[in-house]
Amino acid sequence: MNFFEYQDKARRSTRWLVLIFILAVIAIVAVIDLALLLVFGFSNVELQSDGSWFGAMQVQENIPLLTGGAIATTSVIGLASLFKTVALRGGGGKVARDLGGTLVDSDTSDPRRRRLRNVVEEISLASGVPVPEIYVLEEESGINAFAAGYTPADAAVAVTRGALEKLKRDELQGVIAHEFSHILNGDMRINIRLMGALFGILVLALIGRRVLLHSRFATSSRSKDGAPLILIAVAITVVGYVGLFFGRWIKAAVSRQREYLADASAVQFTRDPQGIGGALKKIAVYSDGSYMRGDTEEISHMLFGDGSKMMMFATHPPLVKRIQRIEPYFREEELTELAKKITREQMRREAEEERREAAPEKPRGPFDPRNIIEGIGSPELERILMAAALAAGLSENVKRAAHSTEWAPEVVFYTLLDPDADIREKQLLAIARHMGSESESQVRALLAASGPIQEEHRLPVVEMAFPALKRRPPDFLKKLLETVEALSQADDRVDVFEYLLARVIARDLWEASNPHAVRVSGKKRLAAMSQDALSVLAILAQHGSERPEQAMAAYRAGAAVLQLETGALQHSDLQDWAAVLDAALPRLDTLKAAEKQKLVEAMITVVVHDQQVKPAELELLRVACELIHVPLPVLTAPQ
C-alpha cells in the first residue's frame, strides 16, 4: 500500500469513524431515556383493587420526557465535542503543550535534544515535509512518543524524557520514523478528530461521577426527593462508562492495525528493523515500559506504546506481536536475557550495523517514476543518508541562523540572493526598505561568513527555518512574504526557486495557522480537470528541454501516463507559467488520492524523459507536488 492508497484509506476511516460515533451516541441516548423512564415514567403507576396496575403511564405522555432526554444528551455530547475540536485547532503543538511538553529550541546545546532534532530533521528532509515542532515530555520516564496535528505543516512530534535517555540513536530513529508514518499517511488528522469526537462521549463519565458525589448530600438528609437524584446519578455514571466503553472500543478499532502499518513503514524508512525493534524490546524489559504518569485516556490511540496498564480494548497490539512482525524469529523468552545485555550490546553493534546494512537491489533504476512513487511517504535509507549529507554540507553559521527565531527570516532572504552583484545590491536595498537596516546587515553578515549558497542547499535551509518562522506573529509574516516577493522581482523575472519559495512558505504558514481548514485530498477525478493537468505537464516539459521537439516528446510521454490526448505544445501559451500554475494547482489539489498518484507519476515521467534532469526541473516538480499536498522525497539528478 503506497502513500496515495493510505490517503484513500484515511478518508474511508474518517467516514467509518463518523458512523461509529453516531451509533455510539444513539446507544447512549437510548440508555439515558431508559433511565429517565425508570425514574419518572412509572412514578404515578398504582395498584388497583382488581390486582392490575394502572396509572399515568402512557406512551404519549412520556414523549416529552424522552425527547427532552435525547436532546439534552446529544447537546452535551455535541457541544463537548465541538469545544474540544475548537480547542485542538491550535495544531499538534497544542496537544504536546497540554501534556506538559517542552519545546526543543532550535539552537539547543543539550546533546540528547540535539540528537533528537538531527534525527527529526533528517527524516523530515528525506520525506519532503516541513520540519515539525519538537517537544519533550520532561516528567515522563517511560519510553513513548506521538505525532499530532491536522497536516504536516502544523505537525508536532513529542517524545518522553525516558525515550531520550534510554534509546540509542538507531532506536530513536525508528520511533521517529514510526511517527512520521502517521504524519504522512493521514493518521494524525484522524487521531485529532477522534480526540474531539470522543471527548463528547467521555465527558458524560465525568458528569456522572460529579452528580453521584453531590447526591451524597441528598441521601444524608433522608429526603424522599433524594432517591430520584441518586438514581439519575447512577444512571449518568453508568452511561458515562458506556461512553468510555465505546470510546476505548472505537480507539482500539481505529489504531491497532495502523500501529502495525506504522511499524512496517519505520523499517522501510530506516532499513533497520533492529532500530524500532530495539525500542520495543526496551519498552518490554524496563519496569516503567511505555507507561506515562499523566492522564492518557484522550491520547492513548496516538502514542507509540500503551500509555497505561489498561488492558481492555488496548489501543496497541501486544509488544511481543509487534516485535515478531518486525523480527519474525524473536521469542518472548529472549526478553529475560535481553534485559541484562541490551544496553551495552546496542552501543557496540551500532557502528557495525550501519556499515553492514545495505539496500536491496531493485529491478528499476533509482530515478524510475515507480520507485519515486513507492518512496513517497516512506523514503528509503538512501534518502535519509542523502538528507543527512545535505544537512552536513551546510555552513554551521547558516544552520545556527536557520534554527534561530531571530535570524530565520534573514536566512530565507539569504537563499534568494542573486549571483549577479548589481541585482544582489537591489535585493539588499529591498530588504532594508521592507524589513529595516538591521535585517539587511544580518543578511550581509550571512553572505560574508558563508558565501553564496549552493542551489541544492536552498530548500533544505528554508525547511529547517520553518519551525522558527512559525513562531513569528502574523503581521511580521505578512511583511516577510512581501519582502520575498520583492526579492523575486528584483531581476524583473521569477525563477523556479523564487516561485517555489514564495508559494510554499505562504501555504505552509497559512496551514500552520488554519490546520482545521486544510484538506489534503478531495473527490475530483482527472477527467474533470484534464486541461489543468496537461498545462502542468507542459510547463515541466518546457523547463526541462531547450529544444521544442524534446519538450514535445516529454510532454506526450507524461500525457500517455494519464491516457489524455495532447495537442500541439505552444510555448507562447505558457509564457506566464507562474500564473498558469497558480490557477491549475489549487484545482488539482482537490483530486482523489489515487488520481494524484497518476498525476505525480506523469510529472516524474516528463522530468526524467530525456535522462538529463536539471535543477529547475526538480524544483518545479517539488513545488507542484508540495502544492497538491504530496511530500516528495529528496531527489538527485542521475549522472
Give the Cα separation of 284 and 306 in Å (integer). 11
Q: Which of 52-56, 354-358, 635-639 has the highest mean pLDDT?
A: 354-358
Q: Is 54 helix (H, G, I), strand (E, B) or coil?
A: strand
Question: Is residue 639 situated within a structural domain?
Answer: no
Residue 343, pLDDT above cutoff 90? no
Sorted by sequence, the CB contacts under 8 Å of residue 575 that are 6+ apart come out as none
Q: Over the range 404-438, which residues count as b (16 or more CB within 10 Å of their CB) and which as e?
A: bbebbbbbbbbbbbbeeeeebeebbebbeebbeee
Of 148, 154, 146, the C-alpha closest to 175 is: 146
Categorize the per-residue pLDDT at 158 as very low, low, confident or very high, splitting at 50, 70 and 90: very high
Q: What is the pLDDT of residue 455?
A: 78
Give the Cα separation of 298 and 602 in Å (integer). 42
What is the tens place of the pLDDT at every residue in 277-303? 888 888 888 767 788 877 676 677 788
- What's the angle, vertex CA 628, arms to CA 624 and CA 629, rounded to 5? 115
Q: What is the pLDDT of residue 144?
A: 92
Of 128, 126, 4, the C-alpha closest to 626 is: 128
Q: Backbone phi, then psi, for 611, in 5-degree steps?
A: 60, 20
Q: What is the pLDDT of residue 163?
A: 92
Question: Is residue 578 situated within a structural domain?
Answer: yes
Of 319, 311, 309, the C-alpha closest to 283 is: 319
Give the Cα separation of 323 and 450 in Å (integer). 46
Question: Is residue 378 situated within a structural domain?
Answer: no
Residue 371, pLDDT above cutoff 60? yes
Claim to verify: residue 540 and residue 480 sit in the same structural domain: no
The answer to whether 346 and 339 are in contact (CB under 8 A) is no
Q: Can you name the residues that pair with 101 across neighbouring β-strands?
A: 137
Question: Is residue 366 situated within a structural domain?
Answer: no
Claim to verify: residue 419 and residue 495 sit in the same structural domain: yes
User: Which of left, alpha, beta for 128 (phi over 0: left; psi -120 to 50: alpha)?
Assistant: left
Claim to verify: residue 496 and residue 546 sit in the same structural domain: no
Instruction: Over range 43-51, report the average pLDDT.
Output: 49
Categorize the per-residue pLDDT at 57 as very low, low, confident or very high, splitting at 50, 70 and 90: very low
Q: What is the pLDDT of residue 14?
A: 58
Is residue 511 part of the annotated active site? The answer reads no
Q: What is the pLDDT of residue 528?
A: 86
Instruction: Over range 224-236, report the average pLDDT.
Output: 62
Residue after which a domain boundary falls, among 259, 281, 311 = 259
Categorize the per-residue pLDDT at 120 as very low, low, confident or very high, splitting at 50, 70 and 90: very high
Sorted by sequence, the CB contacts under 8 Å of residue 9 that are 6+ apart come out as 1, 186
Q: Backbone phi, then psi, for 38, in 5-degree steps?
A: -65, -35
Residue % of the chain over a pLDDT of 90: 11
Determine how β-strand 101-103 pairs with β-strand 53-54: unpaired
Q: Can you name the residues that pair with 157 across neighbouring β-strands?
A: 134, 147
Claim to verify: residue 543 and residue 619 sit in the same structural domain: yes
The answer to whether 628 and 588 are in contact (CB under 8 A) is yes
- What's the angle, vertex CA 460, arms to CA 456 and CA 463, rounded to 5? 150
What is the tens place of the pLDDT at every residue in 425-440? 999 999 999 999 999 9
Sorted by sequence, the CB contacts under 8 Å of residue 235 that are 6+ apart come out as 31, 32, 35, 36, 38, 39, 208
Give the Cα separation of 350 and 307 in Å (integer). 28
Q: What is the pLDDT of residue 380?
A: 63
Q: What is the pLDDT of residue 442?
A: 92
The answer to whether 132 and 163 are in contact (CB under 8 A) is no
What is the tens place of the pLDDT at every residue in 483-531? 988 888 888 777 777 787 778 778 877 887 777 777 777 888 888 888 8
Residue 53, classified by CB atoms within 10 Å of its CB into exposed (0-12), middle (13-18) or buried (19+), is: exposed
Claim to verify: residue 75 and residue 220 sit in the same structural domain: yes
Q: Which of 308-317, 534-543, 564-573 has the highest mean pLDDT?
A: 534-543
Categorize the per-residue pLDDT at 465 as very low, low, confident or very high, splitting at 50, 70 and 90: confident
Categorize the per-residue pLDDT at 353 as very low, low, confident or very high, splitting at 50, 70 and 90: low
Residue with cell 502495525: 260
Q: Can you name the residues that pair with 54 across neighbouring β-strands?
A: 46
- What's the angle, vertex CA 412, arms to CA 107 and CA 600, rounded to 5? 105
Which of 50-59, 70-79, 251-260, 310-319 comes out lowest in average pLDDT?
Answer: 50-59
Question: Is residue 229 situated within a structural domain?
Answer: yes
* pTM, 2 dp: 0.69
More confident residue, 72 or 194: 72
Give the Cα separation of 24 and 323 in Å (integer). 33
DSSP string, 509-561: HHHHH-GGG--S--SB-GGGGHHHHHHHHHHHHHHH-SSHHHHHHHHHHHHHH
DSSP string, 493-506: S--HHHHHHHHHHH
What is the tens place of the pLDDT at every residue in 141-155? 889 999 888 888 888
To 10 degrees, the CA torsion angle through 506, 510, 515, 518? -60
Question: Is residue 519 situated within a structural domain?
Answer: no
Residue 1, pLDDT above cutoff 70? no
Look up residue 270 and give its three cell numbers.
530506516
The number of folded domains in the chain is 3
Residue 446, classified by CB atoms within 10 Å of its CB into exposed (0-12), middle (13-18) or buried (19+), is: buried
Q: Backbone phi, then psi, for 486, in 5-degree steps?
A: -65, -40
Question: Is residue 21 situated within a structural domain?
Answer: yes
Give me the domain span that covers residue 220: 3-88+191-259
Look up residue 242 and give its three cell numbers.
458506556
Give the Cα separation of 297 and 316 in Å (integer). 13
- For the chain, what is the mean pLDDT? 78
Look up residue 432 and give its three cell numbers.
532594508
Claim to verify: residue 77 and residue 195 sit in the same structural domain: yes
Categorize the per-residue pLDDT at 112 as very low, low, confident or very high, splitting at 50, 70 and 90: very high
Claim to verify: residue 506 and residue 619 sit in the same structural domain: no
Claim to verify: residue 84 and residue 204 sit in the same structural domain: yes
Cβ atoms within 10 Å, residue 78: 12
Claim to verify: residue 549 and residue 505 sit in the same structural domain: no
Return the DSSP state at 425: H
Q: Return the biggest CA–CA distance within the chain.
A: 109
Give the Cα separation of 48 and 55 in Å (integer). 9
Claim to verify: residue 14 and residue 82 sit in the same structural domain: yes
Residue 234, classified by CB atoms within 10 Å of its CB into exposed (0-12), middle (13-18) or buried (19+), is: middle
More confident residue, 610 or 571: 610
Give the Cα separation of 375 and 384 in Å (integer). 11
Choosing from 179, 617, 619, 626, which is the catalytic residue?
Answer: 179
Residue after which a domain boundary falls, among 259, 278, 309 = 259
Question: Is residue 7 situated within a structural domain?
Answer: yes
The answer to whether 235 and 32 are in contact (CB under 8 A) is yes
Give the Cα separation of 625 and 619 in Å (integer). 10
Sheet of 101-103, strand order? 101-103, 133-137, 156-160, 145-148
Claim to verify: residue 449 and residue 412 sit in the same structural domain: yes
Claim to verify: residue 73 and residue 197 sit in the same structural domain: yes
Q: What is the pLDDT of residue 333?
A: 78
Give kind and range of the element (H or E) at residue 160. Answer: strand 156-160
Sorted by sequence, the CB contacts under 8 Å of residue 243 that are 6+ apart come out as 24, 28, 201, 202, 204, 205
What is the tens place of the pLDDT at every residue in 302-337? 888 877 765 556 677 788 888 888 888 888 877 777
Q: What is the pLDDT of residue 357?
A: 53
Q: E strands, 11-139, where? A: 46-47, 53-54, 101-103, 133-137
Sorted by sequence, the CB contacts under 8 Å of residue 462 that are 6+ apart come out as 411, 412, 415, 501, 504, 505
Q: What is the pLDDT of residue 211?
A: 64
Categorize the per-residue pLDDT at 54 as very low, low, confident or very high, splitting at 50, 70 and 90: very low
Categorize the per-residue pLDDT at 381 as very low, low, confident or very high, splitting at 50, 70 and 90: low
Instruction: Over range 37-62, report the average pLDDT.
Output: 53
CA distances, 24 to each of 192, 198, 246, 253, 539 (Å): 18, 10, 6, 14, 51
Residue after which a domain boundary falls, among 471, 486, 510 = 510
